[in-house]
Structure 1
Amino acid sequence: MTGPMRQTPGLPTPPKGWPVGSYDTYEQAQRAVDYLSDNEFQVENLTIVGVDLMQVERVLGRLNWGKVVTGGLVSGAWLGLFFGALVGFFSQGDNGWTPILFGVIAGMVFGLISASIPYAASRGQRDFTSTMQLVAGRYDVLCDPKKAEQARDMLARLAI
């Protein structure tokens, strides 16, 4: 292959540029970019980069059979209501409530089964609910080297 190396579209590439600001939170980095934008800086030259990434799992509470069964029934009922209403909307029969009622009941059965089997299979190894987040230890604002000095000077006037 001759000539410049081709990049495959969609593959991640490392960020480029010079650091013009470093912030403890994403909101602070976003505020800095917004400040530059408000002051007519060409923001397409900027990149916000999360550094020192961490996966954080926040525990929300205990999980037990009552919560599993209730959650399965409720989520299944919503799914069944949606499909039942969809079928009822397109059906030609006089009674449009029959598909909705059947959908809710079938959805509840499906939801109960699909929630109970994984919980039973876990055998008490994970009796809690949680959410996962990817967070950074700090957020750097990078800028194209040609404009970095201007961005740095402008951000020096911003009190975060």
Structure 2
Amino acid sequence: MSEPIQAPQISTDVKYETIARFPDYAEAQAVVDQLSDKEFDVSTIKIVGEGLRSEEFVTGRMTKGRAALAGLGSGAWFGLFIGILFGLFAPGFGLLSIILWSVVIGAIWGAIFGFVAHLATGGKRDFKSLKTMAAETYLVQVQASRAHEAMSVLGR
């Protein structure tokens, strides 16, 4: 029998030293990956984002029809899930029929809810968007006691 996986203990008392600074996350991640490939103990590393900001990318206009269509899709997926569950526990009623009706009913209700939800905003949010968090700078930090070792592993 294997032992349960333990969550890492994160201490705020440990001092860290910055060994690299990058303008994007991918470069910071590449340095950690490089250290991992050279079998450095990566549990002593952290990537810190400085200058955090929220970014919202507007992807298009949201109309009542698009809201209903999005709701229709979500409702159909939910209906498919419910249909499969019902179908598993009601085998005598025709699995395909149960799934099909669940998808249809889910799609109809999803479209209705999508339309009504958009209507309820009163036109105050007539666009769709994606939100993300970004940082101006990403720091690769290593526990101070291991920072010199990390730098020599990286050849810096």
Q: TM-score, normalised by structure 2?
A: 0.82
Show the 5 A alignment for 1:118-133: 118-133=117-132
1:92 CA displacement: 3.7
| CA deviation vs aligned residue, 1:119-155 (integer Å, no higher than 9, x gap) | 0011111111101111111110111111212323444
Q: How far, CA to CA, are the matches of 1:67 and 1:97 in structure 2? A: 29
Hey, what does 1:110 align to over in structure 2?
A: 109
Q: Percent identity?
A: 37
Q: How far, CA to CA, are the matches of 2:34 and 2:47 in structure 1? A: 14
The number of residues matched between the two structures is 148
Q: How far, CA to CA, are the matches of 2:13 and 2:28 in structure 1? A: 19
Contact 1:15 1:47 in 2 (8 A): no
Q: How far, CA to CA, are the matches of 1:49 and 1:14 in structure 2? A: 16
RMSD: 2.4
Q: 1:121 to 1:16 in 2, by over 3 A?
A: farther
1:156 CA displacement: 5.2
Contact 1:56 1:132 in 2 (8 A): yes
Show the 5 A alignment for 1:1-160: 16-155=15-154, 157=156
Structure 2 alignment gaps of length 5 or more: 1-8
Q: How far, CA to CA, are the matches of 2:54 and 2:36 in structure 1? A: 31
Structure 1 alignment gaps of length 5 or more: 1-9
1:14 CA displacement: 8.7
Q: 1:15 to 1:117 in 2, by over 3 A?
A: farther
Q: How far, CA to CA, are the matches of 1:11 and 1:40 in structure 2? A: 21
